[in-house]
Structure 1
Amino acid sequence: MAMTRRVHPLVSLNPYQGNWTIKVRVTSKGNMRTYKNARGEGCVFNVELTDGDGTQIQATMFNEAAKKFYDRFELGKVYYISKGTLRVANKQFKTVQNDYEMTLNENSEVEEASDEAACIPETKFKFVPIDQLGPYVNSKDLVDVIGIVQSVSPTMSIRRKSNNETVPKRDIVVADETKKTVVVSLWNELATTVGQELQDIADKSPVVAIKSLKVGDFQGISLSTLGKSIVQVNPVISESKKLRNWYDSEGKETSMASVGSGLSPSTKSGGRSMYSDRVSLAHITSNPSLGEDKPAFFSIRAYISFIKPDQSMWYRACKTCNKKMTDALGGGYWCEGCQKNDAECSLRYIMVVKVSDGSGEGWVSSFNEEAEKIIGCSADELDLLKSQMGEENSYQLKLKEATWTPHLFRVSVSQNEYNNEKRQRITVRATAPVDFAAESKFLLEEISKMRASQ
């Protein structure tokens, strides 16, 4: 039967297609999650599937389908799947490069294809060297990392502020050929399973490859696993063999340094100092092709020259995941990311401001943490000022106070498409006040360089 069935490549599927069968490997499996909303309570989990061409798609199962297929789907195994439905993927939440996402219900068919598994690729990694993690700090992009395990901490119990739930966590320190180390936090089941395995063999300095890590700013730069993360110990891949040979021949005797060392919270974005890649605003705005292939990072010194008071300066955010919330039926707010209702939400900045320097001016986007440094208060506090009606407009005054103060900015420059027209987008990645002693030293060095080149 398996030899005669017609298998469709994932790239050929669309929501308007009739019956189809796909043959795919489970390359990521999420945890079973519960949710509660206006329609009731339920459970959900998802898997990421890869076919023989390397095309990926995310499949989601709710309630009865989730209970039916959760144990059946095993990470790394190959399956024939049919009788699912497709819809256009929500770009805000999609985790794989596919225009569509799949939903399986209790009538869908899932059959293991272990006899033909060899034709489906295993988990593919796109490793980022540890010394190049800086540009990913606090971004939506996830990274894959491979390294030699230097140390493993005992399991810790961490209490979440959002729901007071206690979850296990374990930190490991890994190093690679860049002679840099980084802390990786393993959460939930990964902390107690593979984390314990790593602790048991830590004296042998195992190689660990981890897919889908979030890059944070703890201790300058840090990594954390998510529900979809995959951890492989001593994987049989060429990168692992190369790393092992390097470590055994010279790495174990090499002095290592933390990738986040020397990076303060105000200088960590892009893993670079506020005084590296310093350019004028005109350098950015007069080069419309900057950031076409990938974001370009620069440092600038500029003044906030104007903040539009009537813009939408914040959004209602989930207190658990910070994603946007919408009004829920019957009151409260609905979070699509957590799949639950909540009586409360928080406000997070999503602000556009005009900045100016000696060469010109431009508009930059600034998000919550950096916007708080610019305005001098949280979005909730500014909203309270806006709602107060008095003789003096405290809201307008607060915005005015934030202008014409010099700042150092670390920015990324990328290209966005709007109405079929490409536009340059400048985003603030880090903000710091001007340290005039350091700034003077920087300017003197620049003058010396100019004289030396003449």
Structure 2
Amino acid sequence: MVTQLTKNAIDSLINSTNPDEQYVIQVLKAPQSVAENLFKISISDGYSKFKKGYFVSDAAAKCQDLKDFSIIRCKKYIDDSNHDKERIIISNFDVVYANIQEIIGKPIEYKQYKSQGFVNADGSITIPQQYLSRNAQLLQQAQVSQPKQMVTPPVSNINKPAPVVNNTVAQKPAVSNQNIGRVNQNPQQINKSAPVKQNNNNNNNNNNNNNKANSSLQNSTDTDEQNLEYIKNLQPNSQQTIKVRITKKGDLKSFKGDKAGKLFSIDVIDKYGDECSVSFFNEIAEQYDGLFKVGQVIIMKQFQVKVNNNRQYNKGDHTGTINKESKILICQDDPQIPFIKLSRQYISDLQNKNKGDLIDLIVIVKSDSEIKTMTLKKDNQQQSKRDIIAFDESLIETEITLWGETAKEYDAKQGDIIVFKDARIGEFKDKKQINIGYGTQIFLNPDEQLFPQIQSLQQWYRGLNPDQMSTIQKVQNNETGPREVTSFESSLNILKEEIQQHNKDPDMKIWKEIRGQIMYIKETPLYYNACFDCKKKIQRNNEVWTCQNCNKDFPEPDSRYILSLNISDSTDTIWVSAFDEVGQKILGCKGDVFRYAEEDTEHGIETKKRLLMAAQNKEYRFLLLTKQERDQNGLARDKTVIHAIKDMQPAYEAKKILNSLDKFLEIENGNQS
């Protein structure tokens, strides 16, 4: 429990003395909007106060509910120490207490405090005891941290054959030196120091690369590693310094057009697992080509930052460009910087993805065809092809096609494990499939140190019996398996018509993507109290919560959403269900918040009402699944569940409208002719 402010936090934030530190400070006055996504704040650390504070980025997006005297934990801030004026720019925070009714200590103006040698006899950082109630704290937090456990809960709360996302940042390497590379060596075999790309067939090229390395790259010193920025804090139209590891190196390519030239790019990752792409153009590209290796740690100085407008090829929210003023320094290996970041999903999640989305998969090879030679229609050129049938814990299989040299390289056999990073979702005859794109990285039987999830996957696979193997299903389309309607883009009136049409089919499954808004959320029940391990309902037993299924006790339950809500679009309305992950997206907090609200007799009703009202009338894209289930009396009924939910994206919506207009005009022109 947080019991005090961070002493001298104001001075640390102004001078950026420790960018890794998280500071607890008090907001003296509610934030005031001075521009779009920019709020001015007055803050205090109990000894000094400062009026020129600002909320930007994520902080600006969630600051409007802050009241006077709220206490926050500053998670991210922008190093502004080189600016000629003193100011504090906070880009993200967590609310610690929102029910404070007074100023902590007797802070004085920062300039006065600094001139007095950072002495204020009346200052204090101690938060009065009456505000330290556990319920008062947790009710006001935007996110509730996990309770203290008698039994340690798992890292991820999962209650289905295939979890939706399991974000993992691997810490040890086994990375190929190619964009799409086979990885089967020990992590220690990677050469982290040599910046020169070897070419045994051409000694002249090797010498040229050595000469370029001597002129373009230098080793870093301790001084170079001071005042580093991080990828999450990069700002457009600025020149900044970051320390990163190279995770992918592209080939030097030529491009044509009005601005013909050459380019290559690298993908990099920092100590926090954030990623971005960095580009090299023309003579800069030629100067640095061949000097980098995947897995290398470098410092980049004075490179230009801009917003990432091409997410198909580039990583992160921002991208970097190396220019003539930039410097790239080679560093000793830094174990704090991971070698790769994998946001694993499952084959079962393909159904919820849109064409063109990226996905990270870890799969087991079920069967592998021999290499075939195909003649491509577009240019009559022959191309090598290999089809791999693979599956995962979701017990669904999919076909993955490899082409060209990649097909020749990956001679996978039954039982092999393959990791696909940034595979692209494709679609053929209403069936989702995996495409290997420009940025896809492939790892065949990689070291477990690189991807720790492999160990549990191998144990699961070894435990499968023939009966379980026989239950593996193919990714469904409209022509196979149970009746499954997968024409996603639709409306509620069409959904209801199809439900009526297929309501006598017990295997009916209807998938629809609806653009609509939330009209109403039933107040009870909102959640159930679950076991952290098996997710089944648990009961309170005096001071502990007992799971009869697992025979374990917990000091607090995992309160998981079971929402019933009414959504509408321009054609109709429908009652739907939503469970924990979707519920957190809709309500902006975990179910524990509502449990604490019910325990708080003074403010709980108001808190509950405020959260429910804030969630209504918001517009989303809902992925709905309708199927039949049996009620307690054994009677069949249709049930529609929100399987996934996405925020509205104006650019995407505008593009869909324009495409619809184009199709309409084509039909009109065809009728007139």
1:126 Cα deviation from its structure 2 partner: 1.5
Deviation larger for 164-173 or 74-83: 164-173
Q: Give the match for residue 9 of structure 1.
A: 230
Q: Tell me the SS of whatever aligns to 2:222.
A: coil
Give the partner amino acid of 1:244.
Q
Residue 101 (str. 1) matches residue 101 (str. 2) = no
Contact 1:130 1:178 in 2 (8 A): yes
Give the partner amino acid of 1:297.
L
1:160 Cα deviation from its structure 2 partner: 5.2
Q: Give the match for residue 345 of structure 2.
A: 128
What CA distance in whole angstroms lies between the structure 1 residues aligned with 2:425 and 2:511? 24
Structure 1 residues 191 and 177: alpha-carbon distance in aligned structure 2, compared to 1, 3 A threshold: same
Q: Give the match for residue 433 of structure 1.
A: none
What CA distance in whole angstroms lies between the structure 2 residues aligned with 1:269 and 1:239? 34
TM-score by length of 2: 0.40
What CA distance in whole angstroms lies between the structure 2 residues aligned with 1:43 and 1:150? 41
What CA distance in whole angstroms lies between the structure 2 residues aligned with 1:32 and 1:165? 24
Deviation larger for 50-59 or 254-263: 254-263
- Find the partner of 2:276 among 57, 75, 78: 57
The structure having more radius of gyration, on CA atoms, is 2
Matches within 5 A, 1:264-275: 264=479, 267-268=485-486, 275=499
Residue 207 (str. 1) matches residue 417 (str. 2) = yes
Matches within 5 A, 1:312-323: none
Residue 170 (str. 1) matches residue 389 (str. 2) = no
Residue 240 (str. 1) matches residue 457 (str. 2) = no
Q: Give the match for residue 18 of structure 2.
A: none
| CA offsets 1:154-205 (integer angstroms, 9 cap, x no match) | 3345555556665544221111112111111224443233x13x2xxx14x1
Structure 1 residues 108 and 244: alpha-carbon distance in aligned structure 2, compared to 1, 3 A threshold: same
Structure 1 residues 82 and 278: alpha-carbon distance in aligned structure 2, compared to 1, 3 A threshold: closer
Give the partner amino acid of 1:23.
K
Q: Give the match for residue 36 of structure 1.
A: 256
Matches within 5 A, 1:401-440: none
Structure 1 residues 95 and 34: alpha-carbon distance in aligned structure 2, compared to 1, 3 A threshold: same
Q: Tell me the SS of whatever aligns to 1:126.
A: strand
- Find the partner of 2:568 among 257, 275, 284: 284
Structure 1 residues 259 and 67: alpha-carbon distance in aligned structure 2, compared to 1, 3 A threshold: farther
What CA distance in whole angstroms lies between the structure 1 residues aligned with 2:408 and 2:391? 22
What CA distance in whole angstroms lies between the structure 1 residues aligned with 2:511 and 2:264? 46
Give the partner amino acid of 2:244.
V
Structure 1 residues 2 and 251: alpha-carbon distance in aligned structure 2, compared to 1, 3 A threshold: farther
Contact 2:313 2:439 in 1 (8 A): no
Give the partner amino acid of 1:186.
L
Q: Give the match for residue 152 of structure 1.
A: 368
Give the partner amino acid of 2:389.
V
TM-score by length of 1: 0.57
Give the partner amino acid of 2:425.
V
What CA distance in whole angstroms lies between the structure 2 residues aligned with 1:137 and 1:16? 32
Contact 1:24 1:80 in 2 (8 A): yes
What CA distance in whole angstroms lies between the structure 1 residues aligned with 2:280 and 2:305? 12
Gaps spanning 5+ residues in structure 1: where? 300-348, 354-364, 387-393, 399-454
What CA distance in whole angstroms lies between the structure 1 residues aligned with 2:426 and 2:337? 33
Matches within 5 A, 1:381-420: 382=666, 386=669, 394-395=670-671
Matches within 5 A, 1:17-32: 17-18=238-239, 20-32=240-252
1:102 Cα deviation from its structure 2 partner: 0.9
| CA offsets 1:280-311 (integer angstroms, 9 cap, x no match) | 9994326975664x743368xxxxxxxxxxxx
Contact 2:347 2:397 in 1 (8 A): yes
Q: Give the match for residue 445 of structure 1.
A: none
Structure 1 residues 149 and 107: alpha-carbon distance in aligned structure 2, compared to 1, 3 A threshold: farther
Residue 110 (str. 1) matches residue 342 (str. 2) = no
Gaps spanning 5+ residues in structure 2: where? 1-219, 490-494, 500-508, 517-565, 575-615, 627-653
Contact 1:217 1:268 in 2 (8 A): no
Q: Give the match for residue 255 of structure 1.
A: 470
Tell me which of the two structures has the higher relative contact order, counting C-alpha pairs closer than 8 angstroms and 6 or more residues apart.
Answer: 1
Q: Give the match for residue 224 of structure 1.
A: 435
Structure 1 residues 231 and 256: alpha-carbon distance in aligned structure 2, compared to 1, 3 A threshold: farther
